[in-house]
Amino acid sequence: MSSSVRRVILACVFLLAASLAPPDLLAQSCGVERWSVKTGTDADVGKVNLSSSTSNTILTMRGWPTPSTIPANNRISPYETTVWVLNATLVEYKLESDSDYHLVLSDASGNTLIAEIPLPACVGSGSPFLAGITNARNEFNARYTPTGSFQTANIPVKITGVGMFDFLHGQTGVAPNGIELHPVLDIVFNPTTTTDFSLSVSPSSLTVASGSNGSATVTTSISGSFNSSVALSVSGLPSGASATFSPTSIAAPGSGSSTLNISTGTAAAGTYSLTVTGTGGGKTHTAPLTLTIGSGGGGGGSQILANPGFESGNTSWTASSGVINTSSSEPAHSGSWKAWMDGYGTTHTDSILQQVAIFSSHTTATLTFWLHIDTAETTTTTQYDKLTVQVRNSSGTVLKTLATYSNLNHNTGYAQKTFDLSAYIGQTIQIYLVGTEDSQKQTSFVVDDFALNVQ
């Protein structure tokens, strides 16, 4: 094709696109990236259940796995097909050049997440979100006048919106996985305290070998004068799998946690969408849980950690941003994935954590993993950078420090470490590794191929 022909075609394509665009879109500056998903004109918008909403927390949403790919015109279920409700603090807000109101939400611990209210004129008329977006925009305009600069609010809000993973590009307040409420459908300032409870599950996805066990923590919190026990149940389990809650319900007044233990038994390999349901005080709330059952590799059912070699990516572990990766600069012990803590050469802390229940029917429990340490430190006497291996209870209280390694323990290749955890049989524990690095000279702590073998 000649260049002149190509130029004419390109010009015609753009002219056609411009002529078909609604006039209101031409008059406004509207977004581009994932705009159909952000405003509800995407191919999967029909999968969004607008008739119900699910309470959640910023912490839980920030812990969702980062998608390996983010589709331009489709949704990632259930995160982007669910209407979420957050009770949070609106920290600050700004009018973006794409006409969105950019809201930075925070929880009591300072964890932040972005919510965005698009300009209704930038939303296609066929969007099922349009009414909600218009409602939220009006609610916001009634209280604030956003400008091109951030303004501080620091006000409690109850905010309702659809989940959406944005691309990470340095946005203010962005969650480490890019999850946002986008669009916002409703916002209530200084919400009156309602009598209710909320329910969340962490992690929200579990990978468990066939014939093995995995666990997640179900947490409930209450508001207002709610005072009731909350009964827990789970649905969607595949045939051959079973689940138990410990305890089976949250005692009145309804705030607490329970460990959901899932035994995959003889269930077929695959990915299943489970629903955890809490019922109490005349209220019912649900939270999604994705269960992936791996085929084989369960070591005869004696290995109980999920995703022990990180080959499923950043799932089943709670890890600092970027720690679980496939970088070839620090090769894995086996496979492609491993956890690489520290290595920045500046003051830095990275950690990984997995919670697991060791059933009382077992008699021994042994933790093993492979560790590689390299460092730019030259000292032979001082521990500047450290990796600590701990067992904690489900509340995060340290039960025992199993070992501490440092720049002095640097090695070529990997060395296997072994610890007896039989003392924790019958308990739900957290395997917790934390690496701390001082202000100079990097030390990398690279771990891989964990196993918690029980008999």
Query: Near other proteins by CB under 8 A, which window of 96-104, 253-261, 292-300, 416-424?
Result: 96-104
Q: Which is nearer to other proteins, 29 or 242 (CB)?
A: 29
Q: Is 26 in the site for other proteins (CB under 8 A)?
A: yes
Q: Is 400 in the site for other proteins (CB under 8 A)?
A: no
On the CB side of 429, CA atoms within 13 Å amount to 26
Using an 8 Å Cβ cutoff, are 437 and 347 in contact?
yes
What phi, psi does 115 have (nearest 5°)? -130, 145
Q: Which of 37, 45, 70, 157 binds other proteins (CB under 8 A)?
A: 70
Query: Near other proteins by CB under 8 A, which window of 66-74, 246-254, 296-304, 431-439?
Result: 66-74
Using an 8 Å Cβ cutoff, are 213 and 240 in contact?
no
Q: Is 338 in the site for other proteins (CB under 8 A)?
A: no
Using an 8 Å Cβ cutoff, are 287 and 56 in contact?
yes
Q: Which of 49, 73, 138, 248 binds other proteins (CB under 8 A)?
A: 73
Q: Which is nearer to other proteins, 99 or 393 (CB)?
A: 99
Amino acid residing at 181: L
Tokens of 78: 């259930």
Q: Is 13 in the site for other proteins (CB under 8 A)?
A: yes
Shortest Å distance, C-beta 83 to other proteins: 23
- For residues 9 and 300, give the distance between their C-alpha atoms in angstroms, rounded to a whole number: 62
Q: Which is nearer to other proteins, 337 or 424 (CB)?
A: 337
Q: Which is nearer to other proteins, 15 or 423 (CB)?
A: 15
Q: Is 325 in the site for other proteins (CB under 8 A)?
A: yes
Show contacts with other proteins in window 218-247 (CB under 8 A): none
Distance in angstroms between the alpha carbons of the first and the last residue of the chain: 69
Q: Collapse the DSSP code of 13 into the 3-class scheme (helix H, G, I; strand E, B; otherwise coil) and give the result.
A: helix
Q: Is 327 in the site for other proteins (CB under 8 A)?
A: yes
Q: Is 43 in the site for other proteins (CB under 8 A)?
A: no
Tokens of 22: 């609604």
Supply the DSSP string of 87-114, one letter for each residue: EEEEEEEEE-TTS-EEEEEE-TT--EEE
Shortest Å distance, C-beta 136 to other proteins: 17
Q: Is 129 in the site for other proteins (CB under 8 A)?
A: no
Tokens of 274: 């489970």
Nearest partner of 266 among 236, 288, 298, 235, judged by Cα: 298
Supply the DSSP string of 198-235, one letter for each residue: EEEEESSEEEEETT-EEEEEEEEEEETT----EEEEEE
Query: Near other proteins by CB under 8 A, which window of 2-10, 184-192, 196-204, 205-213?
Result: 2-10
Show contacts with other proteins in window 359-398 (CB under 8 A): 374, 376
Tokens of 287: 């939270």
Q: Is 174 in the site for other proteins (CB under 8 A)?
A: yes
Query: CB-based burial of residue 380 (10 Å sphere; 0-12 exposed, 13-18 middle, 19+ buried)?
Result: exposed
Q: Which is nearer to other proteins, 101 or 432 (CB)?
A: 101
Tokens of 267: 């269930």
Query: Near other proteins by CB under 8 A, which window of 44-52, 157-165, 203-211, 438-446?
Result: 438-446
Q: Is 192 in the site for other proteins (CB under 8 A)?
A: no
Q: Is 439 in the site for other proteins (CB under 8 A)?
A: no
Q: Is 17 in the site for other proteins (CB under 8 A)?
A: yes
Q: Is 29 in the site for other proteins (CB under 8 A)?
A: yes
Bridge partner list, 227: none
Beta strands at 283-294 and 205-209: parallel, antiparallel or unpaired: parallel
Q: Which of 14, 43, 247, 403 binds other proteins (CB under 8 A)?
A: 14
Nearest partner of 114 among 91, 137, 133, 130, judged by Cα: 91
The alpha carbon dihedral of 302, 317, 399, 446 has a sign of positive
Query: Near other proteins by CB under 8 A, which window of 26-34, 80-88, 124-132, 156-164?
Result: 26-34
Q: Which residues bind other proteins (CB under 8 A)?
A: 3, 6-7, 10-11, 13-15, 17-18, 26-27, 29-34, 70, 72-73, 94, 96-98, 100, 102, 114, 148, 167-172, 174, 176, 321-323, 325, 327-330, 340, 343-345, 374, 376, 441-442, 444
